[in-house]
Chain A
Amino acid sequence: MKEWMEILIRSLGLFFLAFFFVRIMGKKHPGKMSTFQLVNYIVIAILTALIAAKVIPSFRLGLVALAVWIFMPMLMDFLAIKSKILHGLIHGKETVVIKKGKIMEENLKKAKLTGEELIRELRAKNAFSLADVEFAVLENTGEVNVVMKNDKKPVTAHDLGQKVAPQTEPQTIILDGNILYDALNNFGLNEGWVKTQLKGMGVDLTNVFIGQVDSSGDLYIDLFDDMIQLPQPTVKEMLYASIEKSQADFMKYALETKDEKAKKMYADNARKLETLMKELETYLLH
């Protein structure tokens, strides 16, 4: 066999082999791998390259080495899933580097992390001031994760004591002027609904680049033609404003009428609408 033919076949075979095995070895992002996993992948890559380029003359011996480096990590991953103790041995444990705002110097030394590196990692997590950090842990991937002090955490709706409406993720139902039927069906909508909505906005389907529906059924669209001003979806705000107006009108009628019975009826209903408004505010206005 000619030499170039042999290298071609070896390379092609190894190409698909490596592709297949790297795919089934897991979905971990290279940046999030532990050091040993990274070494493992590099060894696989080098072995593959060496066999393909015939630096390792025997194809079979090369495959044996490759198989060890491919199947051992798979076996270890399997054991790590089965046993908690083995998981600690194989993947290592995370190290606490800051506790209650104090740096644990011994742990830092054990993890071979210098002060500068720690500060750099903290900055990467937007913790520029050490005073803001309550707790930080060094993961076995080398990443530092940070818990800020309570008063330095970003404010959430919970902190403000405000109720917010539950929200599911919006679905993209129009892309490049085509309706995506799967997404549409997930929301229990159909083509007719989309057509009606678009007609209401005065837009043609072919002019829509992206259209998204949120959990409350509002359709937001972006057009190819950016010169056209679109009405923003305001169904919910409209509804709230109408309720608000009815409530105010009832109050007015209750004060104006001379009939005691009607007065009571208006006042009762005004109060009912007021409680309704309070309940709906989170759903309609935010």
Chain B
Amino acid sequence: MTVGTQMQQAIAGVQSAAATMKTFSLETQDQNAKKDFEQIAQDLENALQTLQQRQKYIEQQEPQFKQQ
């Protein structure tokens, strides 16, 4: 498994987690929990952006790993 693929897997995982947090924050009635979930979702979105930038960089450096 190449670094590129691992990166993609990580991205998909984070994306999924972020979406889960968003659903939780919308579902819960507890205002504190809502805020916490929103915060986590936001953090994950930020992480996602960093990872996506990193992935672009990897693809530039190692074009042979680029997934079809």
Could you tell me which A residues sit within 8 Å of B by CB distance?
Answer: 229, 231, 234, 237-238, 241-242, 244-245, 247-249, 251-252, 255-256
Q: Which 8 A-B pairs rank lowest in CB-CB distance, beginning with the nearest? A: A245-B19, A248-B16, A248-B15, A251-B12, A252-B12, A241-B22, A244-B19, A241-B23
In the complex, which residue of chain B has the Cβ closest to the Cβ of A202? Answer: B29
CB within 8 A of B9: which of A234, A245, A256?
A256
Interface of A is mostly: helix
Indicate if B60 sits at the interface (CB-CB under 8 A): no
Contact A234 B26 (CB under 8 A): yes
* Docked pose: A251 CA to B10 CA in angstroms: 10
Interface of B is mostly: helix
5 pairs across A/B with beta carbons < 8 Å? Answer: A229-B31, A241-B22, A242-B23, A248-B18, A251-B11
Interface residue tally of chain B, by bracket?
Answer: 10 to 19
Indicate if B13 sits at the interface (CB-CB under 8 A): yes
* Docked pose: A100 CA to B11 CA in angstroms: 53
Q: How many A-B contacts at CB < 8 Å in the complex? A: 48
CB within 8 A of A255: which of B8, B23, B26, B29?
B8
Chain A min CB distance to B33 (Å)? 13
CB within 8 A of A252: which of B9, B18, B31?
B9
Chain B min CB distance to A213 (Å)? 20
Contact B26 A244 (CB under 8 A): no
Residue-wise, chain B 1-30 has the 8 Å CB interface mask toward A (1 for contact) of 000010011011101101110110011010
By a CB distance below 8 angstroms, the chain A residues around B20 are 245
* Docked pose: A11 CA to B23 CA in angstroms: 70
Given contacts A244-B19, A255-B5, 13 further A-B contacts (CB under 8 A): A238-B26, A238-B27, A241-B23, A244-B22, A247-B15, A248-B13, A248-B18, A251-B8, A251-B12, A251-B15, A252-B13, A255-B8, A256-B9
Contact B19 A248 (CB under 8 A): yes
Known: A229-B31, A249-B16, A251-B15. A241 touches B9 (CB 8 A): no
* Docked pose: A249 CA to B15 CA in angstroms: 8
In the complex, which residue of chain A has the Cβ closest to the Cβ of B1? Answer: A255
Chain A min CB distance to B43 (Å)? 16
Chain A min CB distance to B63 (Å)? 19
